[in-house]
Amino acid sequence: MIDLRLLRDDPERVRASQRARGEDPAVVDALLAADEQRRAAVTRADGLRADQKAASQAVRAASEEDRPAVLERAKALAAEVKEAEAKQAEADATLRAAQLAVPNVVLDGVPAGGEQDFVVLEQVGEIPTYDFPGLDHLDLGTALGAIDTERGAKVSGSRFAFLTGWGALLELALINLAMGSAVQAGYNPVIAPALVRPEAMEGTGFLGAHAAEVYKLEADDLYLVGTSEVPLAAFHSGEVLEDLPYRYAGFSSCFRREAGSHGKDTRGIIRVHQFDKVEMFCLVDPAEAEAEHQRLLANEKAFLSALEIPFRVIEVAAGDLGSSAARKYDCEAWLPSQERWLELTSTSNCTDFQARRLGIRSRGASGLAPVATLNGTLCAIGRTIAVLLEVHQRADGSVHVPEVLRPYLAGRKELLPQ
């Protein structure tokens, strides 16, 4: 949710942000108009309420003979108030809708344009080459007895998979490695609920453009989260925080309908309906947000480097940002079977946009103000397993185990086909 004061003071900045995103700047002017109308409605209703309050007191004070006339007046005012309040409620709803239609203002330096207009910031490691044909992660995983998508489909449908044997152990290894390094870096570990109320989903902005992506349990009015960013962000909703920053590393299963991605990444476990993820989430002073964002990115890079995965870092263009994000970096790993870069992690600076809607504030020099929230993937486990298998495969079908994972995998230096 955008700051209405910023909007009033500098609407052109918001319009420019809209243009950078390739979205309609007219929503900015619609919001300005809605804001003005709401303020007019509030002023009128407040005034009438003040009159009615006085009239109501007068009823009590009135003498026996004055009473009927005074009561009449109070009743008339009550009707007027009711009508003015209805108009105010309408203006409030219009304002809210207009406010939800305006995404966060992008930060300086974010490249304008859409999905293909990203900027590559750096590449870590070389694109690997292999002097043997090579298998994709599903063939490798099947041979290792680590991934079973056929039975996943039989039991749950397409885009579901079982992780078995080394696959299951690899998942646990990655969770432990991710959580361990997060704790070491000062993040508070959290196991988060995967089912949340509508308010949590709405407050984090996932019921907007991405509503079709979200699973809903109709009978219980609960949603399955697509990322633990949702419960982590909602964790402190409505609170006043002291002693910023707060840093969390949340583990949860993630559920996505993948409604708009028919035919995309259908093979293997790159894009599935259910996967597990360790997500970092930070609440900081808005002045510290950009520095915190760099920290998150650094953590992501360190994690991928430790897994000996070659990757590149891109800055996502304005049009490809989520509505809450003001800047976003993705780390993309090289996927040998498809000879392309695949998004493994993503970190967004949401400035105070998300916190404003969730009511997460802290006491600053000028009173209570929304904090800044940031999120970043530490490890999306399924995809990381897919990349690990492909990148570290060898001609004989075995897979090299990076040193950092060995303590969690009974010291194994390689995984062998069964």
Partner RNA sequence: GGAGGCGUCGCCUAGUCCGGUCUAUGGCGCCGCACUGCUAAUGCGGUUUGGGUCUCAAGCCCAUCGGGAGUUCAAAUCUCCCCGCCUCCGCCA
**Residues carrying an active site annotation:** 256, 271, 343, 346, 383
Q: Dihedral sign, CA of 157, 383, 175, 222?
A: negative
Taking the least distance from each CB to RNA, the nearer of 59 and 135 is: 59
Taking the least distance from each CB to RNA, the nearer of 59 and 409 is: 59
The answer to whether the CB of 147 falls within 8 A of the CB of 163 is yes
- Consecutive H or E run containing 131: none
Taking the least distance from each CB to RNA, the nearer of 50 and 259 is: 50
DSSP classification of residue 26:
H
Least distance to RNA from the beta carbon of 38, Å? 7
Taking the least distance from each CB to RNA, the nearer of 295 and 361 is: 361
Tokens standing for residue 85: 């309040």
Pairing between β-strand 215-217 and β-strand 222-224 as defined by DSSP bridges: antiparallel
- Tally the residues of the chain: 418
Residues lying near RNA in the complex (CB under 7 A) are found at 4, 8, 39, 42-43, 45-47, 49-50, 52-53, 55-57, 59-60, 71, 74-75, 77-78, 81, 89, 361, 367-368
Least distance to RNA from the beta carbon of 102, Å? 16
Taking the least distance from each CB to RNA, the nearer of 60 and 262 is: 60
Distance of CA 38 to the CA centre of its chain: 30
Reference 152, options 166, 169, 138, 133; nearest CA is 138
Taking the least distance from each CB to RNA, the nearer of 47 and 407 is: 47
Least distance to RNA from the beta carbon of 196, Å? 11
Least distance to RNA from the beta carbon of 371, Å? 12
Least distance to RNA from the beta carbon of 370, Å? 9
Least distance to RNA from the beta carbon of 254, Å? 20
Rounded to whole angstroms, the Cα distance separating 6 from 10 reads 6
What are the beta bridge partners of residue 284? 372
What type of residue sits at position 314? Answer: I
Taking the least distance from each CB to RNA, the nearer of 54 and 127 is: 54
The answer to whether the CB of 387 falls within 8 A of the CB of 400 is no
Q: Dihedral sign, CA of 380, 382, 387, 388?
A: positive
Number of DSSP helices (H) and strands (E) in the chain, helices first = 12, 18
The answer to whether the CB of 174 falls within 8 A of the CB of 385 is yes
Name the one residue in this structure whose structure tokens are 């453009």: 209
Rounded to whole angstroms, the Cα distance separating 94 from 88 reads 10
Least distance to RNA from the beta carbon of 341, Å? 40
Q: Dihedral sign, CA of 311, 312, 315, 319?
A: negative
Q: Kindly report the CA angle at 194 between 193 and 200, in degrees rounded to 5?
A: 80
Tokens standing for residue 202: 């709405």
Q: Three-state SS across 97-124?
A: HHHHCCCCCCCCCCCCCCHHHCEEEEEE
Reference 300, options 122, 117, 126, 163; nearest CA is 122
Least distance to RNA from the beta carbon of 194, Å? 14
The answer to whether the CB of 380 falls within 8 A of the CB of 345 is yes
Taking the least distance from each CB to RNA, the nearer of 182 and 222 is: 222
Tokens standing for residue 377: 């993937």
